[in-house]
């Protein structure tokens, strides 16, 4: 089968994958294949689990809320030498914008999504299941081999006191001295980093002062216009990938280099 003829449907299957193995479909995925995509036995899909690469699979059985896939062959090997993926720490947003941030961040290669509560956060609770489903769906769609973590919401103060040693935290600054984003991220290429984006109302003065005192925090500037929080989040990730991440050496071929 030519690479071009691979099926477009990709499913995240949280089970071990190996050629000639069989894996069970959960109710949601069986329903999606049957009722939404109108597929049935013999149709092909791609399966990945974040560990074993990607497999071409055939639908063996498909009922209303169950089904089986037969794994035909491996189509992509696991990536073992990838540089660390950036994390995104974001204050939850109203009006579906958190879901949008998750979708875009996954497409832009984020490794972990961390909802954070700040003093001016205007969303008190997140729907973690929904954000995780958004992340999985985006991973399926954008041909990632892994599905990024979406961890539970945490207070900013607590996050900072338990921060992972050695990981730089870039903060999108609205004022004060800050490095241009491209300069800051280029200098951090190959290192573990995270981007922190506050709520629409911004951080309050005490939060900003506390952030600036932390040795792992680097303030970055995102230009003269006032960006919405969602724009700041995925702009930072896009510039990271372009200047320090996996967009640098690509030749524009969207086909992943580990396609077999």
Half-sphere exposure of 66 (CA within 13 A, CB side): 1
If binding is defined by CB under 8 A, does position 54 make contact with a copy of itself?
no
Angle at 81 (CA atoms; ends 79, 84), nearest 5 degrees: 100
Contact residue for a copy of itself among 119, 174, 192, 217 (CB under 8 A): 174
Closest CA to 67 of 21, 108, 27: 27
Q: How far apart are CA 85 and CA 111, in angstroms?
A: 5
Q: How far apart are CA 4 and CA 2, in angstroms?
A: 5
Q: Is 175 helix (H, G, I), strand (E, B) or coil?
A: coil
Neighbours of 209 (CB within 10 A): 10
Q: How far apart are CA 49 and CA 186, in angstroms?
A: 31
Q: Which stretch binds a copy of itself (CB under 8 A): 11-19, 27-35, 120-128, 236-244?
A: 236-244
If binding is defined by CB under 8 A, does position 148 make contact with a copy of itself?
no
If binding is defined by CB under 8 A, does position 85 make contact with a copy of itself?
no
Contacting residues for 170 by C-beta, under 8 A, at least 6 apart: 181, 184, 185, 188, 193, 194, 195, 196, 217, 218, 219, 220, 236
If binding is defined by CB under 8 A, does position 50 make contact with a copy of itself?
no
Closest CA to 113 of 248, 233, 212: 233
Alpha helices in the chain (DSSP H): 27-31, 97-107, 128-141, 156-161, 181-187, 205-213, 229-243
Contact 148, 111 (CB under 8 A): yes
- Shortest distance, position 112 Cβ to a copy of itself, whole Å: 16
Contact residue for a copy of itself among 123, 126, 142, 154 (CB under 8 A): 142
If binding is defined by CB under 8 A, does position 219 make contact with a copy of itself?
yes
- Shortest distance, position 35 Cβ to a copy of itself, whole Å: 20
Retrieve residue 130's tokens. 């929904």
If binding is defined by CB under 8 A, does position 176 make contact with a copy of itself?
yes
- Shortest distance, position 139 Cβ to a copy of itself, whole Å: 9
- Shortest distance, position 157 Cβ to a copy of itself, whole Å: 23
Q: Find the helix or strand (DSSP H, E) in which 170 lies.
A: strand 168-173
Q: Which stretch binds a copy of itself (CB under 8 A): 40-48, 59-67, 115-123, 246-254?
A: 246-254
Contact residue for a copy of itself among 124, 165, 177, 205 (CB under 8 A): 177
Q: Which stretch binds a copy of itself (CB under 8 A): 11-19, 37-45, 105-113, 120-128?
A: 105-113
Which lies closer to a copy of itself via its Cβ, residue 16 or residue 83?
A: 83
Residue whose entry in the numeric block shows the structure tokens 């959960």: 26
If binding is defined by CB under 8 A, does position 141 make contact with a copy of itself?
yes
- Shortest distance, position 211 Cβ to a copy of itself, whole Å: 13
Contact residue for a copy of itself among 120, 132, 179, 217 (CB under 8 A): 179
Question: Which residues of this chain interact with a copy of itself, rule CB under 8 A?
Answer: 100, 103-104, 107-109, 141-144, 173-182, 219-228, 231, 234-235, 238-239, 241-243, 245-257
């Amino acid at each position: 089968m030519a690479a071009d003829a691979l099926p477009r449907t990709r499913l995240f299957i949280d089970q071990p994958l190996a050629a000639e193995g069989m894996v069970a479909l959960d109710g949601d995925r069986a329903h999606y294949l049957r009722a939404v995509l109108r597929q049935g036995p013999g149709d092909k899909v791609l399966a990945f689990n974040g560990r074993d690469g990607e497999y071409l699979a055939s639908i063996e059985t498909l009922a209303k809320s169950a089904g089986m896939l037969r794994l035909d062959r491996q189509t992509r090997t696991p990536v073992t030498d990838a540089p660390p993926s950036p994390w995104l720490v974001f204050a939850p947003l109203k009006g579906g914008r958190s879901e949008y941030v998750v979708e875009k961040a996954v497409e832009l290669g984020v490794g972990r999504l961390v909802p954070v509560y700040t003093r001016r956060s205007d969303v008190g609770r997140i729907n973690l299941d929904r954000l995780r489903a958004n992340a999985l769906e985006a991973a399926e769609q954008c041909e990632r081999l892994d599905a990024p973590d979406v961890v539970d919401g945490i207070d900013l103060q607590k996050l900072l006191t338990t921060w992972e040693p050695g990981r730089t935290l870039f903060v999108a600054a609205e004022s004060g001295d800050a490095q241009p984003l491209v300069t800051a991220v280029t200098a951090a290429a190959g290192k573990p980093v995270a981007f922190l984006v506050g709520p629409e109302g911004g951080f309050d003065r005490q939060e900003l002062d506390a952030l600036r005192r932390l040795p792992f925090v680097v303030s970055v500037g995102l230009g003269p216009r006032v960006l919405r929080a969602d724009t700041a989040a995925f702009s930072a990730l896009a510039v990271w990938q372009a200047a320090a991440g996996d967009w640098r050496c690509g030749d524009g071929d969207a086909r992943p280099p580990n396609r077999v």
